Chain A
C-alpha cells in the first residue's frame, strides 16, 4: 500500500505517495528527476549515491524513502547559485578531480557536508572522511587536493562576507596603495 511522503529537496517541498519499498535514490532520480545523484554499486559500497539529509551525508541507495519523511534533502543540483557553480564544484574542475564524473556528485556532496562541519581540514582528515568513496578513474589525490582548495575558497568567501562592503573596498584600496608604495 502506498504511503504519503513529504520531503524538501533543494529547498522545494514535494508531497506524493510511494510504495514503502522505494529507496531514496529512486525518488530523487526517477520521481523527481534529480539524476545528478548517481547509482553505481547499489549496495552501500561505493558512495556514488551520496546526498545530504538534514546536514549529514548519507547513501541514498540504502535508505527507504519513507524514512526521510519530513526531512530536508540536498542533491548536487542544489549547490550552484544560478549559473555560478558552488566553490566545491569549481575546485573539482580546476583541480582535475574527475574524469568520467560518475563518482563526482557523491564526492562533492560528501565534501560539502564535511566542510560545513570542518571548514579547515587536514589532508589526513579528508582521507578519513572520504574513504568510503570509490573513484575508478581519477585517483584520490586530486580529489583530496580539490577539497583542500575548496576549503580555502569557502574560507575566503566567508571572510569577504564578514567585512562590510565599503570597508572591504577601502582595505582593498589601502592594500593597493601600500603595494605600490613599496615598489616606489
Chain B
C-alpha cells in the first residue's frame, strides 16, 4: 500500500492574504504548497519529497475563478480546476483551444480536483496547458507578501520539475489577452493512451493579414520534447510574412526539429520525438490555418 508516511505540519489558508503571510513566515523552512495534491500527494507517497510544512491553498475560494473581459481577456485564478476550464461556456466561446486541450488531460477525476496552475507549477516537461498558453501569449501572476510580478508562460518553467517560483512566492493567476481577429489556434498531443502525459504536443497560433492571404503572425509552443515546454521562435519566422502552404509548414517542421532537445526514454527515442514534433507541427499548423481563414 502506497501512502504518505512522514508527518508534516498542516497549514490551511482561506484567503490569499493568509496564504502569503504563511509563505513569508515559512520562507526559509522546508515547506510545500498543496493545491489539489494530484501531483503532490503522489510525490509524497513515492517519498520523492517529505516537506515539514504543507501550506494548503485549496480553500482559497477567492482564487477559484475564470473571468472574461473584452478588453483584458481571460483570467484564470490559481484554484480553478482543469474541469472548470473545460466546462466554462465563455472559454469554449472565446478560447476553444483551451477546452479541447483539457478534454485530454489525465482523467475526469483528476481534472475535478487538480488545478491548471498546479499542473503548470508541477512543471512536468509534458504539461498540456503550457503550449496553448505559450501561443496565446499568456502571463502568470506571481505574488509574495507585498510584492507581485508577472512572467510570460514560455519563461515560467525552467527545467524538469523546476519553475521560476521562488521561496515565499505563489502563482495567483493566469492572464490571457484577447485573441486578435483573423486568428486560428489549435493544439494536439500525442500519447499512447487517452489521458496520459504527452510524448509530444504542439500548439500553433496563426494570424492572417486583412485579406486573409499572408501570415501576419505565428506562434508555436511545444511540450514533452525538451526539459521544459518551449516556444519555437525560429520555426515561427519561417511562417511569418508568407502565404502558408503545406510546403511551408513542412519547412517549419524541419526547423522545429533543430530547436528542441528531446530526451530519450522508454516511450520514445530522441530522434523519434524530433520526428513527432515535426509531424505534429504540420498537422496542427494546417488546422490553425483553416481556423484563421474561417475566423
Residues of A participating in the B interface, judged by any CB pair closer than 8 Å: 1, 3, 19-21, 23, 26, 39, 42-44, 47, 50, 53, 56-59, 62-64, 66-67, 110, 114, 128-129, 131-133
Contact = CB atoms under 8 A, between A and B. Distances in A.
A129 B110 contact: no
Contact of A21 (B7, B36, B46, B108): B7
A43 B45 contact: yes
B1 A39 contact: yes
A21 B112 contact: no
A128 B109 contact: no
Given A44-B38, A64-B56, A131-B195, 14 more contacts: A3-B10, A19-B7, A20-B10, A21-B3, A42-B1, A43-B46, A44-B41, A56-B113, A58-B109, A59-B110, A64-B10, A131-B194, A132-B110, A133-B107
B7 to A, nearest CB: 6
Nearest to B106: A132
Interface of A is mostly: mixed
A64 B112 contact: no
19 contacts: A20-B8, A21-B7, A42-B3, A43-B45, A44-B38, A44-B41, A44-B42, A53-B113, A56-B83, A56-B113, A62-B37, A62-B110, A64-B10, A64-B56, A67-B34, A67-B37, A131-B195, A132-B106, A132-B109
A42 to B, nearest CB: 4
Nearest to A66: B10
Interface of B: 1-10, 12, 34, 36-38, 41-42, 44-46, 54, 56, 58-59, 83, 103, 106-110, 112-113, 194-195
A20 B10 CA distance: 6
Contact of B37 (A19, A57, A63, A114): A63
A64 B41 contact: yes
A110 B1 contact: no
Contacts of B7: 19-21
A59 B103 contact: no
A131 B5 contact: no
Nearest to B1: A42
A81 B45 CA distance: 37
A66 B12 contact: yes
B3 A131 contact: no
Contacts of A43: 2, 42, 45-46
A23 B195 CA distance: 24
Contacts of A56: 83, 112-113
Nearest to A114: B108
Contacts of A66: 10, 12, 56
Given A42-B2, A66-B12, A59 B109 contact: yes
Nearest to B107: A132
Given A43-B42, A43-B45, A64 B34 contact: yes
Given A44-B42, A63-B113, A67-B37, A23 B4 contact: yes
Contacts of A53: 113
A7 to B, nearest CB: 15
A112 to B, nearest CB: 13
B127 to A, nearest CB: 16
A40 B109 CA distance: 15
A26 to B, nearest CB: 7
